[in-house]
Structure 1
Amino acid sequence: MPDIVFDFLHRFPCMATKTDDVLKSNALIRLSTSPQIFPSASRLAFWEQFFCTCICSQPIVASNDTVRIYVPAQSLRESKNIVLQVLSQLQAFAKNLFTFLGIKQIYDLKKIHIYSDKILRCMCEYISTLDYEEQLKASVPAAFHSAVKNGTVEFIMEMIKACPHVIICTDENSRTLFMSSIANRQEKVVSLIYGLEASRSGFVSLIDSSGNTMLHLAAKLSPPSQLSRISGAALQMQRELQWYKEVESIINPTDKDFPNVKGQIARELFTSDHEDLLVKGEEWMKATATSCTVVGALIITIMFTAAFTVPGGHVQANGYPFLKDKESFTVFIISDAISLFSSSASVLMFLGILTSRYAEEDFLISLPTKLIIGLSTLFFSIATMMVTFCAALMIIVDGKMQIIIPIVLVACIPVTFFMLLQFPLLVEIFVSTYGPGIFNKRMKRWY
């Protein structure tokens, strides 16, 4: 389908701004409301991004010639030639394998990205030939601000290159490009400000129709669609604080205490808008800490008991373990001690979370750091507890591998479950707390 659209627009570029009588829209506006077909909206995993980079696609070249498609009378599978039938079977197997591994979906997605870029460039090339009145009639500013709200970075960049004046045009709330992107929490669009050759001072001191500065817009609660992307009310509160701090760092210091039409400064607006989220963040953090404290306390009890009930028993004369010289016993004692100490540290961290004051600023660094340390040490204590258990069984069964190997494999199940359930959350907290930040301040010059 995208190839047909591209070919059609290449032959009739004027159709990009042709308004539909029923939908009261045109192709340009429809493209601006479709961020999912552009790379900036793709949320691929690391391995998916790697495959997407490695996949080679044929260059797309538009042609004005008439295209003829030859359809064979019979397929390869229906052919009587054995070689062709084998090739057909291999082709079907490869196709099913790529579909199962997800490679075909990634290839199709990359193909859509390439065609969407070609379609966008074709539209912008035609729009650049129109005068200002014709651009207004074609709803170019409306399409531009629609792309800003949806975070379609590619659309915004190409539109500014084709029509430079749209960078200063405002929407229905008198908000410019970067003000609207802050209000809609589109960090990739805000990052474009770091790739401008011009000074940023002309964009950071403006106000909208309600007298709000960029910092006021950052102080408001994010749209529900953006908050739902973040797991946990505490991390949502952290992201809101990060947005406020990032915008505060780029505006003029004199605008921090600038009141809007309601007489509110940005900090007051932030506190009033985030009261409910602050309470929910406290509840989420306490519930998580309470659950993990129970698990840590159980591990402490088990490991403390195991240290005094060593397998093999003790020598009655001196109290030393019978098997103290065996390597498996050394592994048992070391892993037991590590599990006990790490679980104790985990419980102390979670107790620190439960007794925190839960001020707004605590959600930025303090509470997430305690949660990172608590979850990390709890995971380490669970892993070493399984090692302790396996070492004790090795001592009891006296090296019978036909028993040890299945037990070790089964012991890996709870560790794997914990990694699948809690490790992604741990990574998310770590990246959001100590990552590079919301905005890409190293963006290359693009205009």
Structure 2
Amino acid sequence: MSATAINATRPKTRPQPQFKSLLHMQAIVLLKLLWDQILSLEYAQITDILRSPSQVLFVAAEFGVVDLITELFQSYPDLIWRVDEHGRSIFHMAVIHRQEKIFRLIHDRGAHKDMIAAYRDKNNHCILHLAGKIATPNRLNIVSGAALQMQREMLWFKNVQPLYKEMRDSNGRTPRMLFTEEHAKLVKEGEKWMKSTASSCMLVATLITTMMFAAIFTVPGGNDNEKGTPIFLEATSFVIFAVSDALALFSSVTSILMFLSILTSRYAEEDFLRLLPQRLIVGLTTLFLSIAAMLVAFGATFCIVLSQRLAWIAVPVAFIACIPVTLFAFLQFPLHLDIVQSSYGVGIFA
């Protein structure tokens, strides 16, 4: 049962998309058939099967096989109270291995979760101590960048914290003390990652600010010697140039300020939860806007300069100008999406 059920619900190889749903359904049917056979046995036999050879319930919690655990709980609710040889329940295992689906499954069980959270393991660790320990590498690396990994760890600690009050383990450490000790290296790596990202982006934003500031004083087509106004002031392309230049300038300045605030942050543990990610979101968003507006201003200038002789060139220039913007969006979108999901609750604990 243990090896068969878990391997059935957690394939070793990645199936093709068109077969993934079918494979999942077949695994669930197999699981139900196996479990129905087990339920027909005596209580002592059921207990022996769940206890050996590798404690099916806890292995399933470790790997996040939520379908297996849901099926077991529905037909055998008493399993929620079981503990392993270290005195840890399935709830504790979900926290140790950062399995948010398993965590939510038991967290929704009302008063039961409070009673389970009160369990302590052999080291006198409560569930909050376990959340204070750093995640295993395979779970830590599901998000990119040390700063986002630190944010994810803080999210876990904050979500588990209401379940249990502060207490000390066998070494006299509170959960917060254990968290600080375990994540000291990750905080340093997160600071380094944030500063490196902010410095690189700030350099680009500074270059855009410089160019856009200079461009508004050297308008395309020049100025009227008598009036001092731009010659192409009435042209639609000039209006597009002026608006896009101003938008690029203001966006790049905003981006610089955001990245500067990241560089001068104190980098406390709490800063990785909301403050730093939100500043990075604003910085990346305004940087993207400034790049897009800069290329629009370039295209408008190109049309102004060549409108008399090469009017047809406006269309290909517009298409070519879209390439860098699309490339930047394509490269930065995964990072931007990760930050937004973690920062605004559409990620692990939604």
TM-score range, shorter chain: over 0.9
1:358 aligns with 2:267: yes
Query: Given the two structures, how large is their TM-score scaled by the length of structure 1?
Result: 0.74
Report the identity percentage: 41
Note the residue ranges of structure 2 that are not aligned, 5 or more in a row: none
1:322 aligns with 2:227: no
**Worse overlay, 159-168 or 315-324:** 159-168
- Whether the aligned pair in 1 keeps the contact of 2:8 and 2:27 (CA below 8 Å) is no
Alpha-carbon distance in 1 for matches of 2:148, 2:159 = 16
1:416-441 per-position Cα deviation (integer Å, ceiling 9, x unaligned): 1110111221121112101246335x
Query: Given the two structures, how large is their TM-score scaled by the length of structure 2?
Result: 0.94
Alpha-carbon distance in 1 for matches of 2:76, 2:109 = 15
1:381 aligns with 2:286: no
1:431 aligns with 2:341: yes
Note the residue ranges of structure 1 that are not aligned, 5 or more in a row: 1-26, 43-103, 441-447
Alpha-carbon distance in 1 for matches of 2:67, 2:333 = 33
AA aligned opposite 1:208: D
Deviation at 1:408, TM superposition (A): 1.2
Alpha-carbon distance in 2 for matches of 1:166, 1:225 = 27
Alpha-carbon distance in 2 for matches of 1:360, 1:34 = 40
1:228 — aligned with what? 141
Max radius of gyration: which structure?
1
Deviation at 1:243, TM superposition (A): 0.5
- Whether the aligned pair in 1 keeps the contact of 2:133 and 2:182 (CA below 8 Å) is yes
1:416 — aligned with what? 326
- Whether the aligned pair in 2 keeps the contact of 1:33 and 1:150 (CA below 8 Å) is no
Alpha-carbon distance in 2 for matches of 1:131, 1:312 = 91
2:253 corresponds, among 344, 357, 364, to 344
1:221-249 per-position Cα deviation (integer Å, ceiling 9, x unaligned): 01100011011100110111110000012
AA aligned opposite 2:64: G
Alpha-carbon distance in 2 for matches of 1:201, 1:194 = 9
**Worse overlay, 161-170 or 417-426:** 161-170
Count of residue pairs brought into register by the alignment: 347
The 1:120/1:334 distance shift into structure 2, 3 A limit, reads same
Deviation at 1:196, TM superposition (A): 2.4
Deviation at 1:291, TM superposition (A): 0.1
Alpha-carbon distance in 2 for matches of 1:199, 1:162 = 17
Mapping for residues 162-177 of structure 1, pairs under 5 Å: 162-177=75-90
Deviation at 1:393, TM superposition (A): 0.8
Alpha-carbon distance in 1 for matches of 2:44, 2:251 = 69
1:284 aligns with 2:193: yes
1:299 — aligned with what? 208
Deviation at 1:406, TM superposition (A): 1.4
- Whether the aligned pair in 1 keeps the contact of 2:9 and 2:24 (CA below 8 Å) is no
1:159 — aligned with what? 72
1:33-80 per-position Cα deviation (integer Å, ceiling 9, x unaligned): 455349xxx9xxxxxxxxxxxxxxxxxxxxxxxxxxxxxxxxxxxxxx
1:85 — aligned with what? none
2:317 corresponds, among 407, 411, 430, to 407
- Whether the aligned pair in 1 keeps the contact of 2:9 and 2:27 (CA below 8 Å) is no
Alpha-carbon distance in 2 for matches of 1:246, 1:216 = 13
- Whether the aligned pair in 2 keeps the contact of 1:303 and 1:385 (CA below 8 Å) is yes
**SS of residue in 2 equivalent to 1:138:** helix
Alpha-carbon distance in 1 for matches of 2:10, 2:127 = 27
Alpha-carbon distance in 1 for matches of 2:331, 2:69 = 38
